[in-house]
């Protein structure tokens, strides 16, 4: 498949040779044929000023008490808990009038954590409930994502086990930690560049035993290990063209193409 942003070359995607990647390809294709209007939001357009406005609206409409004076990772993580709690049973169980606000404030919160720069991902998505289940045995579980990887869109407000560990998010692991066991039709292009580090499985498991013993007791070590990693299903082939897209002052989605 190929992805096109306006004023950019086509980005060519090479999918992994897995049943999961093929299923996801068909899921995205089906949704694009039904509705070619994907939503794309640019991280650099969501800054502290946007978050302050959204926080004020959330405080007024949802009864929250968000303060935006301190926006380090510790405080944004605590703010994230309000979104998790409100959406504990999913978007289908809240009034539709709140959907846009919650999508916006969730995206903005993570963008501010990334410095309001194109630093983590480019995400294209639909707001729908289409998708399919992912078993623990077919979960891709890539420990380190590479620039240009195509990862599955997070279907939950919570985060998968490795993300919590990397963020050292010890606040209410039972609520926050969600196995990525569902594929949605969104497209997530990784643009973060990280150096590879040696992953210590023993230290990782001990972190969960120390900080989320109830989570470990409910799900077991083996299931946690199988869902550990990032759900990568392919990668962009022409990385220089992706770099060029990122250099533009504005990005706007144009089209998808399927082979």
CA atoms within 13 A on the CB side of 70: 7
- 3-class SS at 253? strand
Instruction: Give residue 90's region: left, alpha or beta (phi > 0; psi -120 to 50).
Output: left
The Cα 237–Cα 189 span in angstroms is: 12
Q: What are phi and psi of 201, to 5 degrees?
A: -65, -40
Task: Supply the DSSP symbol for 180.
Answer: -
Per-residue pLDDT of the chain (259 residues; tens, 9 = 90+): 999 999 999 999 999 999 999 999 999 999 999 999 999 988 888 888 888 899 899 899 988 888 888 777 778 888 888 888 888 777 777 888 888 888 888 888 888 888 888 888 899 999 888 999 999 999 999 999 999 999 999 888 888 999 999 989 998 899 899 999 999 999 999 999 888 889 999 999 999 999 999 999 999 999 999 999 999 999 999 999 999 999 999 999 999 999 7
């Amino acid at each position: 498949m190929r992805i096109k942003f306006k004023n950019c070359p086509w980005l060519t995607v090479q999918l992994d040779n897995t049943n999961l990647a093929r299923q996801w390809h068909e899921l995205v294709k089906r949704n694009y044929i039904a509705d070619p209007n994907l939503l794309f939001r640019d991280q650099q357009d969501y800054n502290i000023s946007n978050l302050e406005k959204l926080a004020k609206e959330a405080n007024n409409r949802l009864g929250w008490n968000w303060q935006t004076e301190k926006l380090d990772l510790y405080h944004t993580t605590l703010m994230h808990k309000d979104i998790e709690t409100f959406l504990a049973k999913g978007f289908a169980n809240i009034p539709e009038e709140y959907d846009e606000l919650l999508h916006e404030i969730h995206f903005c919160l993570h963008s501010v954590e990334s410095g309001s720069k194109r630093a983590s991902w480019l995400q294209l998505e639909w707001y729908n409930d289409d998708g399919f289940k992912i078993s623990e045995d077919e979960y891709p579980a890539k420990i380190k994502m590479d620039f240009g990887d195509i990862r599955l869109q997070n279907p939950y407000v919570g985060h998968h086990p490795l993300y919590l560990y990397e963020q050292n998010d010890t606040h209410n692991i039972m609520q926050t930690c969600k196995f990525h066991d569902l594929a949605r039709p969104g497209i997530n292009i990784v643009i973060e560049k990280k150096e590879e580090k040696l992953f210590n499985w023993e230290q990782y498991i001990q972190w969960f035993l120390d900080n989320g013993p109830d989570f470990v007791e409910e799900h077991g070590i083996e299931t946690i290990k199988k869902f550990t990693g990032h759900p990568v299903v392919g990668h962009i082939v022409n990385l220089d063209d992706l770099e060029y897209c990122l250099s533009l002052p504005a990005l706007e989605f144009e089209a998808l193409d399927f082979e």
